[in-house]
Every structure is written in structure tokens, then in C-alpha cells.
């Protein structure tokens, strides 16, 4: 779902030069076990985003949660692509930090 949100932002970047997408990824191996379609979209988004940084070369415990919280700390606005009625600890963290959250609900 984060990938869909990133795809939306990169599409908007072509209309508004002030929009940026900085990707802080948990590890370089993040998409290794994904299906081919998701891998292709992932690499397309990375190609189109403003900045890419990896926290680790290889996965470490809780690396995804750590990268999400670091992104929240660095962000002013959050786009959350989530199933309706579901919440995540990272979104609660964003609320505590006073970040504006735009929800895009999926079924």
C-alpha cells in the first residue's frame, strides 16, 4: 500500500514542481520476495522520486518500523493508504507528532 501512495505522489510531481518524494527504505533487499509486478513498480517509483536512502544493506529486526518512524519525523504531511477501519502504530505516532495525515482508503 505504501507503494501505491508513492506512485500517486510521483504522478503529482509532474504537475507541481514543489512536491517531492524522499524515500527512506529499510534495506536494499526490501523487494526481493515481492511479485514481479510490484518489483517493477517499486523500481519505477525509485527512479521518479526525489531522493533515495537506505537504512541498512540487509534487513534487520524492526527495520520497516524504524524507517517509517524516521520518515514521519522528517515529513510535514503523511499520505496513508490503508484498509478502511484499520490503523497502524506508525499512524498513531504521526498523530502524536502533529503531522497532517491524508487517508486514502482501500478495500
Q: Check pLDDT > 80 for residue 107.
A: no
Mean pLDDT along residues 16-28: 89
Report the candidate in 70, 77, 72, 101 with the shortest Cα–Cα distance to residue 87. 101
Which contiguous run of DSSP H or E holds residue 13?
A: helix 2-13
pLDDT single digits (tens) 64-101: 888 889 889 988 888 888 888 888 899 999 999 999 99
Domain spans in the chain, listed from the N-terminal domain onward: 2-106
First to last CA, the chain: 11
Mean local confidence (pLDDT), 4-29: 89
> Taking the C-alpha atoms of 61, 84, 81 and 72 in order, what is their torsion angle to the nearest 10 degrees?
-60
Residue 79 dihedral angles phi and psi, to the nearest 5°: -105, 120
User: 48-58 pLDDT, tens per residue?
Assistant: 999 999 888 88
Across residues 34-55, what is the average pLDDT? 93
Q: pLDDT band for position 1 (50/70/90)?
A: low
- pLDDT beyond 80 at 6: yes
C-alpha 73/C-alpha 57 separation (Å) is 22
Given the candidates 3.10.300.10, 3.40.50.450, 2.60.120.10, 3.40.50.1820, the CATH classification of the domain at 2-106 is: 3.40.50.450
Amino acid at each position: 500500500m505504501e507503494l501505491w501512495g508513492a506512485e500517486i505522489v510521483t504522478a503529482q510531481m509532474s504537475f507541481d514542481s514543489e512536491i517531492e518524494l524522499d524515500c527512506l527504505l529499510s534495506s536494499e533487499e526490501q523487494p526481493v520476495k515481492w511479485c514481479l509486478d510490484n518489483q517493477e513498480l517499486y523500481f519505477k517509483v525509485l527512479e521518479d522520486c526525489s531522493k533515495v536512502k537506505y537504512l541498512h544493506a540487509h534487513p534487520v529486526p524492526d527495520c520497516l518500523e524504524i524507517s517509517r518512524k524516521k520518515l514521519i519525523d522528517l515529513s510535514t504531511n503523511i499520505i496513508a493508504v490503508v484498509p478502511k477501519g484499520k490503523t497502524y502504530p506508525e499512524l498513531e505516532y504521526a498523530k502524536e507528532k502533529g503531522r497532517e495525515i491524508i487517508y486514502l482508503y482501500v478495500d
